[in-house]
Structure 1
Amino acid sequence: MRGGATATTTLALACAAQFIVLFDVSVITVALPSMQTDLGFDPADLQWVVSSYALAFAGLLLLGGRLGDLYGHRRVFVGGLSVFVVAGVIGGLATDPATLIAARAAKGVGAAVLAPLALTMVTTTFPEGHRRTRALALWTAVSLVGGASGNVFGGVLTEYLSWRSVLLINVPIGIPVLLYAARRLARRDGPRRQGRLDLPGAVLATAGLALLTLGIAQARSHDWTDPAAALPLAGGTVALAAFVVVEKRFAAQPLIPPRLFTLPGVGWGNLAMMLAGAGFHIPIWYFLTLTMQGVLHYSAAETGLGFLPHTVVMLLVGLFVTPRLMRYAQARTLIAVGALIAAVGFLWQSGITPQSGYLDGIFGPAVVISFGAGLVSTPLTTTVTSGVGPTEAGAASGLVNTTRQFGGAFGLAVLLTLTTDDTAGSPAALVDSYANAFRAMAVIMLALAALATVLPAQRHLTRSTAGPVGSSADEDHSLLN
């Protein structure tokens, strides 16, 4: 055991944190139409309920990833989850769009602390090999289920209670996890480095990502040369360029240590993670929700239940199929195959019509897309964290989550430029609009499959020769084998 926390406890808390964070990303989507009606959202501004969370999350993940390295797991875990829960209460009580968007951004701040720490807790507890692969498979499966099940519960809660309940649900979920973490995690857990947080780098990264996404979003209703779109795009580009300069020349403790990019899987792997986020993370839930409610006229509860196949297939493939395949196939092969399968699913999804039934319009594409997502996630996470030392695990985890979250938010903004602003249009007009988004997601998956070919070759051992850091090799055998 390390500092009083067993590997089982650490993994359980890491999975709980990841579930809460990704559950919150998707639970909100089914409630979007109800929020729009109740609070008077302009159709063009509705995406910011989702994007404000994702951008605060993505922009601060690099900083959040360093907090655990510097201040210890328990303190950072409890602090991040406390912010997350309180912001959920504020959002659930919001009476105007601005308050709701601000509360969602605050939740993104809490998530930016929790998510990289969750991955760090896994990679610093389980050394590379079969047992880490199994731990990451469980962590990834929980991630996928958190994202998919949020839609199911979001629909039921919205239909039978209120859209406010999808925000307040984090209280009964988060508080028990918070109390358990405060009791079971050690005060000082994992290797840490001395130094200061790179606040200028965090500000520049957050501003750059947010401005780029804002510029793309503005291009939906303005010309690309219009100042409303051009200025945020230019500002975001400048901010990110300044971030690179600050990290290389001025930061004593950079958010992204330069050594990370000497590792074979980090550079291309995080670009692949960004593409995966643009397909599997936020956009799919956003456009499927609008399709089911606006085109097929499903109720909120029916829409939520419509996502059940995504949850089940992702869980089964991510937890049981992919880890076994990783014993025999290279990670990059599984990523490419999974992306190609998902591309087929997105093309199938783009063919939905107002006359489609559930089996051919939702269920069939869901099985194919989710099978592909389940094949991609664990090998990709394993690739981008391979070779990272314990003292840089937080930074690497922050980078992984940043690319995934930014991929989701930026991808949504880009895909929205391909769709109509008229959410009150006829189902036929809407389905043509949303079909453009699904076809674009298929193209993104093809790009991911092509990119997988340049990822480093990596085959994992079928057996682990060492246990977790500081623990016996037999500990948690029943959980991970």
Structure 2
Amino acid sequence: MDSETRRRATLLAVLCAAQFVLIIDVVIVNVAVPAIQADLGIAPRSLQLTGVAYTVTFGSLLILAGRLGDLYGRRPLLVAGLVLFMAASLGCALAATGWQLFAARAAQGVGAALVSPNALALLVGSYRDDRERNRALGVWAAVASAGAVAGQLLGGVLTETVGWRGIFLVNLPIGVVAIALLLRVVPAASGPTPDGVRSGRLDVAGAALLTVLLGGVSLLLADPVELPAVGLMAIAVGLAVVAVRLVHTERRHPDPVVPGFLLRTRPVLVANASLLLSAGALGATLYVATLVMQTSMGYGPLQTGLGFAPITVIVLLVSPRAGALIERFGAPRLLVAGAALGVAGTALLAATAGVADDYWTGVFPGLALLAIGSGLSYAPTFALATTVPAEQQGRASGMVNTAQEIGAAAGLATLGALAAATATGAALVDPVVGYGAAAAVLAVAGLLALTLLSCQGVGGSRNTTGMTRSVLDS
């Protein structure tokens, strides 16, 4: 193994480790919420802020952070983001009141937003060979998709063994190692183009409007303070005004924060839309499954967390293989196959809900199919969404990460709320409705992927320039 291959392998490992921690922190607090409430005395209506404070800042700043990386280089954004994330994690662990915890969680989200899109853009830009890049994206996808599931496992284990503060302290040693390795393997002048030359300027007005819009949408979906219908409507109207203003600003700016060609390129647009839907379905399904195990099946936090261990293993085994399968079958076919398996898995969960009352017959089979489908889908999604010119990869990476975060929030807010609204008796959710709705959403994602089957050469074995041109021309 030559020195450059070792450098790329180390870079892939550290970027994936950082992304794993960021994704885990989206859901790791779920199982710990009762312990946090008991320790800090947080009012029940404010408990959602333990998750919302993180996801709102994370999801709303991803595109802006990716654009900053395009303009000013990846390494400074990555290091600054990790330092902020670590400091905020320590703040979470030391929080003595609910509002201290919420503020620290929001700061965590800012740090995570600086890291995630620039890590993905740096990974994509480090590989000139399509085969190596697709395999690397398979590993990245395994980490991204497994992190959403593993957070449930780690949250349960750490909460029950060392206490809820341990779920934040575990970020510190990982962050220190990640920073040390990044400074070693990433050149100081690393930029979005091979020669390190950066062009363009920051669209400040567009970035501000986009951040407000994404943050507002995230808050509206989460509704952490349970606003009345009139309040929700007022916020929705305000966000519509912001959206109109954003479109007007972007059309007039010579270098908009979201260039129009990204929204007009069919593979990029479909990949983002498909991920938004699938992330929403996955998030809602995991939420419903968690409640079913803790209520109907009577499992504690540790048992519930361990229930997601085999699912995490499945994703970690399948996703790296998906990166190699892109070369053989093409990204669109893998997206369709992944969506089909996801539909089968959620439909099976709906069919066994209330009939099979133990994990191995009522939860595991359906989640296993969903895990295989997710494992097959994520690598081709990231491959399609980031197949753009080098100077645009930060923005493209920000877009696909935003789709994942907003999708997860939307899925929980809509599908989770639907499952809760239709529950009867002492049940917190109606699993048949929740799983069935997730299956319908995944079916739509699969239909979107079908529209890409006519695109020739996506994910094929060409150099980066040729691959980019084939996607943009499709």
Name the counterpart of 1:271: 273
Mapped contact 2:24–2:151 kept (Cα < 8 A): yes
TM-fit CA distance, 1:355: 6.5
Are 2:212 and 1:204 aligned? Answer: no
Are 2:423 and 1:394 aligned? Answer: no
Name the counterpart of 1:12: 13
Mapped contact 1:4–1:185 kept (Cα < 8 A): no
TM-fit CA distance, 1:189: 0.8
Q: Of 443, 447, 450, which residue of structure 2 is paired with 1:450?
A: 447
Q: For residues 275-313 of structure 1, what are the alpha-carbon distances to aligned partners after superposition, in whole Å with 9 as ceiling and x for unaligned?
A: 122123x43443333332233221111111110121111
Q: Of 246, 249, 253, which residue of structure 2 is paired with 1:246?
A: 249
Name the counterpart of 1:231: 234
Name the counterpart of 1:473: none
Letter in 2 for 1:72: G
Q: Name the CA distance, whole Å, in 2 between partners of 1:354 and 1:98.
A: 42
Name the counterpart of 2:72: 71
Name the counterpart of 1:376: 377
Alignment of 1:38-49 (within 5 A): 38-49=39-50
Mapped contact 2:64–2:211 kept (Cα < 8 A): no
TM-fit CA distance, 1:62: 0.8
SS at match of 2:420: coil
TM-fit CA distance, 1:9: 3.1
Alignment of 1:141-220 (within 5 A): 141-190=142-191, 191=193, 192-218=197-223
Name the counterpart of 2:36: 35
Mapped contact 1:216–1:233 kept (Cα < 8 A): no
Letter in 2 for 1:107: Q
SS at match of 2:363: helix
Q: For residues 301-336 of structure 1, what are the alpha-carbon distances to aligned partners after superposition, in whole Å with 9 as ceiling and x for unaligned?
A: 11111101211110111112x234323323212211
Letter in 2 for 1:22: I
Name the counterpart of 1:334: 334
Mapped contact 1:3–1:186 kept (Cα < 8 A): no
Q: Name the CA distance, whole Å, in 2 between partners of 1:185 and 1:5.
A: 13
Describe the shift of the 1:99–1:219 C-alpha distance in structure 2 as closer, same or farther (beyond 3 A). Answer: closer
Alignment of 1:276-287 (within 5 A): 276-280=278-282, 282-287=283-288
SS at match of 1:418: helix
Name the counterpart of 1:436: 433
Mapped contact 2:45–2:224 kept (Cα < 8 A): no
TM-fit CA distance, 1:371: 0.7
Describe the shift of the 1:83–1:4 C-alpha distance in structure 2 as closer, same or farther (beyond 3 A). Answer: farther
Describe the shift of the 1:308–1:379 C-alpha distance in structure 2 as closer, same or farther (beyond 3 A). Answer: same
110-119 vs 64-73, greater mean Cα deviation: 64-73
SS at match of 1:183: helix
SS at match of 2:428: helix
Name the counterpart of 1:470: none
TM-fit CA distance, 1:64: 0.7
50-59 vs 38-47, greater mean Cα deviation: 38-47
SS at match of 1:420: helix
SS at match of 1:316: helix
Name the counterpart of 2:346: 346
TM-fit CA distance, 1:458: 4.7
Q: Name the CA distance, whole Å, in 1 between partners of 2:219 and 2:459.
A: 44
TM-fit CA distance, 1:378: 0.9
Mapped contact 2:338–2:376 kept (Cα < 8 A): yes
Q: For residues 432-468 of structure 1, what are the alpha-carbon distances to aligned partners after superposition, in whole Å with 9 as ceiling and x for unaligned?
A: 2x4422221111101101111122525567767799x
Describe the shift of the 1:419–1:101 C-alpha distance in structure 2 as closer, same or farther (beyond 3 A). Answer: farther
Letter in 1 for 2:317: L
Mapped contact 1:219–1:229 kept (Cα < 8 A): no
Q: Name the CA distance, whole Å, in 1 between partners of 2:317 and 2:269.
A: 29
Q: Name the CA distance, whole Å, in 2 between partners of 1:204 and 1:465.
A: 36
TM-fit CA distance, 1:354: 9.1
TM-score where L is the length of structure 1: 0.87
Describe the shift of the 1:202–1:362 C-alpha distance in structure 2 as closer, same or farther (beyond 3 A). Answer: same
Letter in 2 for 1:212: V
Are 2:304 and 1:303 aligned? Answer: yes
Describe the shift of the 1:420–1:172 C-alpha distance in structure 2 as closer, same or farther (beyond 3 A). Answer: same
Name the counterpart of 1:288: 289
Letter in 2 for 1:215: L
Q: For residues 387-412 of structure 1, what are the alpha-carbon distances to aligned partners after superposition, in whole Å with 9 as ceiling and x for unaligned?
A: x1111111111111111111111222
Describe the shift of the 1:294–1:132 C-alpha distance in structure 2 as closer, same or farther (beyond 3 A). Answer: same
Q: Name the CA distance, whole Å, in 2 between partners of 1:458 and 1:12.
A: 32
SS at match of 2:257: coil
SS at match of 2:128: coil
Mapped contact 1:219–1:417 kept (Cα < 8 A): no
Aligned residue pairs, count:
458
Structure 2, gaps ≥5 residues long: 466-474
Letter in 2 for 1:276: S
Name the counterpart of 1:410: 410
Letter in 1 for 2:70: D
